[in-house]
Structures are given as C-alpha cells and as structure tokens.
Structure 1
Amino acid sequence: MAFVVFGDSYVSRLEKYVKNHPFDLNDSEVKFYGVPGMSTVRKFHDKFQIMLADKPNYLRKYYYHFRFVFVNLGGNDINSSCNPQQIFENIVTIVKQLKNAGVEHVFVASIVERGSFLSWTGCNSNMFNKVRRSINCKLSVKFKEHYVDVGKKLRKIKIPKTL
C-alpha cells in the first residue's frame, strides 16, 4: 500500500523525524512531499506536480497513483489580509485535483495553532486562531471522516519519557 504526506514545514519535519526514528509500516511505502513555507498558492505547484508524477516503487511499471494522501496546508496562507473562504476553497480544489488524478482517499488535516508569527503576516495569536477555527469548521463539514483534527489526535498520543 502507498501513502503520501503532502504539505508545509510540518511535513518536512515529520519526514526528518521518520528517517531518524524508523518504524514498521507493514511493508507500506510512505512518501513525504513537504516544503517549509508552503501555502495553498505559494511554493505549492512544483512540489504538487512532482508528487502527481511519482509512483510507488513496486508499481512503477503500471499507470498508478498513490491510494492515500494526507494533506497538511492552510496555516501559511493566514495573514492579516487573508480571505478564509478562499483558503478553504483552495484546499477543496487541491483535494479535487488529487481525486481526479486517481487518489482513492484524501485526508485533510486541521490547521493547528502556532506559537510565533513572522512580521510580514501581520498576525497575532488571537487573529490567527479566529481564522484557523473558521477554516477548520468548513473543512470538517466538507470532508467529514476524511478530516483529521490534528490537535485532538496529538493530545491523545502518549509520548514516552525516553525520547
């Protein structure tokens, strides 16, 4: 089985973590396509096209796309002049493109809280969270069981003290 994790710096950091802390995925292939600073419009298109052209190692001779894609985008789109509806629509369009390319299941991550903001964004924590919650609400309604509330999932994980 083949999985893809696509998105911003959270994805690129997860890829580095997985490379340094291997775990058994029952012979599944996982590919990471993460770019720090990626948004639904910035630093997106080149990596998206590379991902769509890629195929799992064991199926390279067949016309095939990954069955499962986990998308983590939207947080880098939020700034003081953003349009939450447009960010939501951009994510919906990305999911449609993946489905049209033959991806069986697309899972959309919630936009998670942030601790700091670059000055050019004009954001502060209150403003970011208001926009983030608005977009997440729309995503959860649109994608139902394919929406992953990352914040809730992370709170349930028990991290061993030996890490």
Structure 2
Amino acid sequence: MHEDVAHGPGRDGGPVGGRCGAHDRFPPGGGRWIRERILRLRPDTAPEDHGALGSDLTAWAEQFLDEMASPTGRAYIRDALLGDPDGGNAGRCSAYAADQLGVVLTRAAGRGDAAPDVETVMDRVVAPLMYRILFRPDGLDAAYARRLVAEVLGRTGP
C-alpha cells in the first residue's frame, strides 16, 4: 500500500487515478513537491477484466470520473498543473491514463474485440471527462461517461 496524504498512511487514491496527493496552499519544496506527487501517481494494478471491451471501458471510465471529480481528484488535477509551464506533470498524468487504457484495449484485441486506439479513447472519453470535471461539473454523472464510451465504440442509443 501507499501513503496518500489526503487519505492517510497505507491508503491509496484508487486504481484509476492512482494516489491523488493532497494539496497544501504552500507546498514544501515547491515544484519538486508537486513532481514527487505526480511520480507516485502511477496505479499499481491493471484495470479489472469484465470480459468484454464495452464492460471494461465503461467500468474504467466510470471509476476515472468518480476519482477525478472527487475533491481529492480535483486537488490532484490542480497540483498536477500548478507551476508546470512545460506540461511535464500533465504529460505524465496523461501517460498514466493512456497506459491503463492500453491494457484495456490490448486485452480486448486479444479476445477478438474490435477496439479503437488509445489516442481515440483519450480524445473522445478522457478529454471530455476532464473538461467537464474542470469547467462544467454540474450534472456530470456516470451516465455521461457511459454515453462517451458507447459513442467511441460506435454504439447508439441511451
């Protein structure tokens, strides 16, 4: 187990968002403190296997939304972007999500499921979720995440 300052020793911030570090108004060590938080963010476990791409990707997206939209997740997002003019922290965080999606999509391809590529899922599922979390959180719920997944997989309907 990991130490997540927001939750206390031995507790982590979740398998999708990883350890979402707590925030201090004036973090000790400045930028180094933030970089260390981001480096500890990488999830330790692979996304759950639900037996089909639609189920796997939907579960991942719902959990991602739940974790990133939480107060701790929002603090993590702020910390990741704080004082990061070159985008290195944000890039690492994005890579963690892409890695998790890569596991889901590779697993699906191994089962013979037709799967979009990682960048398509990042653009059509992760990016809209992050935008809504940051700028339009009202009404943001699991149904929205499910709709994004259905759309990226070429499904229609509610």
TM superposition score normalised by structure 2:
0.34
Alignment TM-score, normalising by the size of structure 1: 0.33
Report which of the two has the higher share of strand: 1
